[in-house]
């Protein structure tokens, strides 16, 4: 399934929002980390010439018993959001799954979401989103998949729209990072800027 959306913002700001962690608890409806749990979220960034990988692991926010059952996860499980950004073209592949925090063993269900970012103008970015899931465990594989696959497409569409709503409300549309207060989840922003500038923009100083 492919979803298409348009963002009224420059590529860099849209990519910032789709590779941010701190806003997930207050903006997103289902996946991500509660604001109260952000201190417990482990984050790692691996930067290569052609790609930037980010690994996040922390307590899954409350999504209710029914959705936990469909996904085959348990209260207290940790949500892993492991994504890689590549730049020709600019796209992000998210590998998302849950683990037992005591043993590190993964639950059967895994999600993969790929988002391609296409600049359609200086302040317009088109997004193409692809959603996949494996045949993980849960309430019964066949029934679960029939229920879950269309739900995941709907959830993903909603989460993308929530991200785009946040982007549309940004008062500052400057893509430069100089002078901004950045936290431990924000190293990826500078890594993205350097690669986008090298490939598509004039070089500039980024943090």
Helix (H, G, I), strand (E, B) or coil at 35: helix
Token pair belonging to 61: 């926010």
Element (H, E) at 110: strand 106-121
Q: What is the pTM of this model?
A: 0.89
* Pick from 202, 179, 203, 197: nearest CA to 15: 197
Which position has the higher pLDDT, 131 or 201? 131
Q: What is the pLDDT of residues 79-117, one digit of tens each?
A: 999 999 999 999 999 999 999 999 999 999 899 999 999
Residue 142, preceding bond cis, omega within 30 degrees?
A: no
Q: Do 41 and 56 touch, CB atoms closer than 8 A?
A: yes
Asked, for residue 103, whether it belongs to a domain, the answer is yes
Asked, for residue 205, whether it belongs to a domain, the answer is no
139-160: b (≥16 Cβ within 10 Å) or e = eeeeebbeebeeebbebbeebb
Query: Domain with 154 in it: what CATH number?
Result: 3.90.380.10
Dihedral, 123, 25, 48, 189 alpha carbons, nearest 10 = 40
d(CA 143, CA 126) in angstroms, rounded, equals 34
Asked, for residue 114, whether it belongs to a domain, the answer is yes
pLDDT of 143 reads 58
Asked, for residue 206, whether it belongs to a domain, the answer is no
d(CA 28, CA 60) in angstroms, rounded, equals 12
Domain range for 166 is: 2-200
**Residue 48 above 50 pLDDT?**
yes
Asked, for residue 207, whether it belongs to a domain, the answer is no
Q: What is the pLDDT of residues 112-163, one digit of tens each?
A: 999 999 999 989 999 999 999 886 655 555 656 777 788 889 999 999 999 9
- When divided into structural domains, the chain yields a total of 1
Asked, for residue 194, whether it belongs to a domain, the answer is yes
pLDDT of 136 reads 60
């Amino acid at each position: 399934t492919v979803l298409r959306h348009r963002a009224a913002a420059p590529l860099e700001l849209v990519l910032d929002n789709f590779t941010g962690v701190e806003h997930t608890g207050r903006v997103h409806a289902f996946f991500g980390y509660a604001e109260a749990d952000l201190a417990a979220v482990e984050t790692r960034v691996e930067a290569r010439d052609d790609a930037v990988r980010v690994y996040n692991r922390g307590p899954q926010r409350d999504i209710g018993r029914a959705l936990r059952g469909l996904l085959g996860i348990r209260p207290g499980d940790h949500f892993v959001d492991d994504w890689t950004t590549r730049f020709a073209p600019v796209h992000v592949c998210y590998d998302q799954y849950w683990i037992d925090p005591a043993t590190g063993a993964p639950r059967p269900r895994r999600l993969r979401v790929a988002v391609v970012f296409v600049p359609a103008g200086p302040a317009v970015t088109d997004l193409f989103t692809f959603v996949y899931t494996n045949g993980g465990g849960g309430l019964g594989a066949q029934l679960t998949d029939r229920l879950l696959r269309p739900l995941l497409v709907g959830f993903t569409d909603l989460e993308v729209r929530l991200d785009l709503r946040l982007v549309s409300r940004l008062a500052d549309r400057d893509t430069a990072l100089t002078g901004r207060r950045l936290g431990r989840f924000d190293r990826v922003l500078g890594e993205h800027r350097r690669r986008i500038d090298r490939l598509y923009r004039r070089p500039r100083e980024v943090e």
